[in-house]
Structure 1
């Protein structure tokens, strides 16, 4: 593998997730490999009018994981973030099971937090706005702003673990957590910190948000067969995305440092590319121009070429414009190499987690490298003619993967692309 000689390899030493499949990375991976779907009717009847198909995190009680005061003072998106981060930190050996809110062997001054979200705690804000509309002279809760601000999850993580390094929130729509991971990579390349908690969280089941997405024609309002099959990335009959919720966290640190402390290394983050379409508020550039730039920049930063990529985890949300633009961008970047590169989207089973999607799909990409299995694209029965030629469709595919690319593209033309590699490619 060719290395960019300027930058040090950055290892992933811990992972955590809460997804519509439940809590835990292993539950996420088992569900994807088992071709399960978490898409179904919303539990809140108010939501069904605006989005009849969603992917909720069910059977999640924050009181099972967090102190009562924390639950009272935080939005659901922050609670999901705290639980995902706790798993990642424990996985990295930073915390003891009996004392999860104390970092061990980690310099808090040299630890950073890079977090992504599209909206933060909008449900908490909307809930209070509805209450105020009904009772204009009523008292507004003192924690509405602190629960709703986009940096609420990042701030909560810093407070819970006493992390005093740079703590930044990236609100770049559906690319948010991919951008957070990429910016964290650059912090480590520059030596600003020794380790970073990076990821994203989202929980956006509100009438306002879903109603707007419905009006924009972005969400699936109908489909053939069971509701669980409505999200069909790359399919000619796709009707729109299905909203999901969740959180994912990854622990990043220099590879040499990770090996020196005997940490398990899942993968190495070797490349990152970001760009903007500069085209439209919601629609991607129809030619995929911004996506092309982000992928090319990720390859350049990794010191790799198109032929070096073994698997692509596509953004593919099952919107016609989005899937088409990504397909065209992939063909422009990879050319004839795309015929030999397997591509899949995991949104068919767990929906689109918006600001958390990039981090969740990065974990999926890393597990593919670790296990040698590529997840399938659920519910795609008749691929669009412009779709990537080697879509993984019918079930998981067994294949050695040394390098994987994960794409994330969002409203406002935001693009974030990450490249993950097998740690075995890097000599000790």
Structure 2
């Protein structure tokens, strides 16, 4: 296990800024309060959304205007700028931007903008010299954080701005309608016995990561740490997960090993929780294998509130997990009425729950068999 640990404490990966744009708004603390109160941004699609797409979690006021490429770039720049402001760090001091998106505007924009071009354009507008793009379906945002953390831990960067973004476009809607993954009821019920699919959402989330030495040098406020990370690909199919959960198990165990943690150390899990039959089955199987019966780790999920934000989801859920660790509480999952018996861990279905401990994991399971786990820690010395 020692081979995986970050031996140099100065290279440990600290979170010093967070920002998101969600269907519930863009103020981090205000959105958290809405989550704790069971709020949701899911609403009926405007016009004729079609019988398979009755609802989605759109950004308030429609989000940025313009063609798909400009909407994505504008939202990424605005959310990234808010993150840097939260961190008290100018863009000129950020070495690398790592941006994830499932497909961004690629399917719908006449300019045929690729994920790489999207990232390069955002970096140029921010004034960040180096950039890298990640496109691993629904794991993209989490993999962007993973990539930034790896660069810092290896000494290849001191500071990385990492995030994910996706806005709803007709191409994405058509694709998921054809796959039959969308909820006919317009409600995401993670791990519910009556779950019937997911609901789309729009959003963006960014975290500023710094080495502990870099954060200390500028007197930065530390919001938490990225202690470990793990990824795998189960290769089952282009859209179907491995329902045994074996690939997800490997990602979680790799994250725990890299962070020097055991399953019993985990206080809270921000689950992928799509509310689809296959995905929730695979995720529950993963937790049965890793944690077994009797674990105290509390599970929550944000897709009933934010919708499934595709490539943004991993970054947004990392922020939600850090907030849960900070406040020692998790928001409810009010849409889940009866929890599937296959889930071995307590789900915060009946209201907010208090948690103890300082470690949590965020799990994402993307199309194409992409599985990613981030091991996050509450900031040391944070007041209760």
**TM-score normalised by the shorter chain: which range applies?**
over 0.9
Post-superposition offset of 1:40: 1.1
Aligned residue in 2 for 1:14: 17
Structure 1 equivalent of residue 34 of structure 2: 31
Q: Is the 8 A contact 1:78 1:121 kept in 2?
A: no
1:245 is displaced (CA, Å) by 0.7
Does the C-alpha gap of structure 1 residues 29 and 385 become closer, same or farther in structure 2, counting only changes over 3 Å?
same
2 CA distance for matches of 1:198 and 1:326?
Answer: 25
Q: How does 1:15-164 map to 2 (within 5 A)?
A: 15-43=18-46, 45-62=47-64, 74-95=69-90, 103=91, 106=93, 111-122=95-106, 124-125=108-109, 128=110, 144-145=111-112, 148-164=113-129
Q: What is the aligned length?
A: 378
* Residues 133-158 of structure 1: per-residue CA shift (max 9 Å, x gap): xxxxxxxxxxx13xx32134421231
Contact 2:52 2:183 in 1 (8 A): no
Q: Which residue of 1 aligns with 2:351?
A: 395
Residue of structure 2 in register with 1:139 after alignment: none
Q: CA deviation at 1:250?
A: 0.4
Distance 1:297 1:54, change over 3 A: same
Alignment of 1:101-250 (within 5 A): 103=91, 106=93, 111-122=95-106, 124-125=108-109, 128=110, 144-145=111-112, 148-165=113-130, 167-206=131-170, 208-221=171-184, 223=185, 227=186, 230-250=187-207
- Are 1:272 and 2:274 matched, yes or no? no
User: Aligned partners of 1:353, 1:425: CA distance in 2, in Å?
Assistant: 33
- Pairwise CA distance, 1:123: 6.0
Select the structure of larger CA radius of gyration: 1
Say which SS state the counterpart of residue 376 (structure 1) adopts.
coil
Give the secondary-structure state (helix, strand or coil) at the position aligned to 1:321: helix
Conserved? CA contact 2:249–2:286, under 8 Å: yes
Q: What are the ranges of 5 or more consecutive residues in structure 1 without an aligned counterpart?
A: 64-70, 96-102, 129-143
Rounded to whole Å, the distance in 2 between the matches of 1:73 and 1:355 is: 15
TM-score norm. by structure 2 comes to 0.93
Of residues 261, 270, 285, the one that matches 1:304 is: 261
- State whether residues 343 and 388 of structure 1, in contact with CA within 8 Å, keep that contact through their aligned partners in structure 2: no
8 Å Cα contact 1:47/1:210 also seen in 2: no
Please report how far the alpha carbon of residue 425 of structure 1 lies from its aligned counterpart in structure 2 after TM superposition: 7.0
2:323 match: secondary structure: helix
C-alpha RMSD of the superposition: 2.0
C-alpha contact (below 8 Å) 2:293/2:345 kept by paired residues: no
- Against the structure 1 CA distance between its residues 72 and 243, is the aligned structure 2 distance closer, same or farther, given a 3 Å change threshold? closer
Contact 2:238 2:369 in 1 (8 A): yes
Q: CA deviation at 1:256?
A: 2.8
SS of 1:47 mapped into structure 2: coil
TM-superposed CA distance for 1:378, in Å, is: 2.7
Alignment correspondent of 1:367: 323
User: Does structure 1 conserve the Cα–Cα contact (< 8 Å) formed by 2:163 and 2:206?
Assistant: yes
SS in 2 for 1:182: helix
C-alpha distance after superposition, 1:150-182 (max 9, x if no partner):
1344212311232113x1111100000101100
Alignment of 1:296-335 (within 5 A): 296-335=253-292
- Structure 2 CA distance for partners of 1:5 and 1:180, relative to 1, 3 Å: closer
Contact 1:346 1:378 in 2 (8 A): no
CA distance in 2, matches of 1:373, 1:310: 10
Unaligned stretches of 5+ in structure 2?
none
Give 1:60 deviation, angstroms: 4.8
Distance 1:161 1:357, change over 3 A: same
What is the alpha-carbon distance in structure 1 between the residues aligned to residue 67 and residue 307 of structure 2?
A: 28
| TM-score computed with the length of structure 1 as normaliser | 0.84
**Structure 1 pair 383–120 and aligned structure 2 pair: CA distance change class (3 A):** same
Q: Secondary structure at the match of 1:232?
A: coil
- Rate the CA distance shift 1:244–1:362 in 2: closer, same or farther, 3 A: same
| Alpha-carbon distance between aligned partners in 1 of 2:117 and 2:319, rounded to the nearest angstrom | 23
- Report if aligned partners of 2:321, 2:362 keep a CA contact under 8 Å in 1: yes
SS of the equivalent of 1:404 reads: strand
Deviates more, 1:47-56 or 1:167-176: 47-56
Question: Secondary structure in 2 aligned to 1:62?
Answer: coil
> Structure 1 CA distance, aligned partners of 2:252 and 2:237?
20
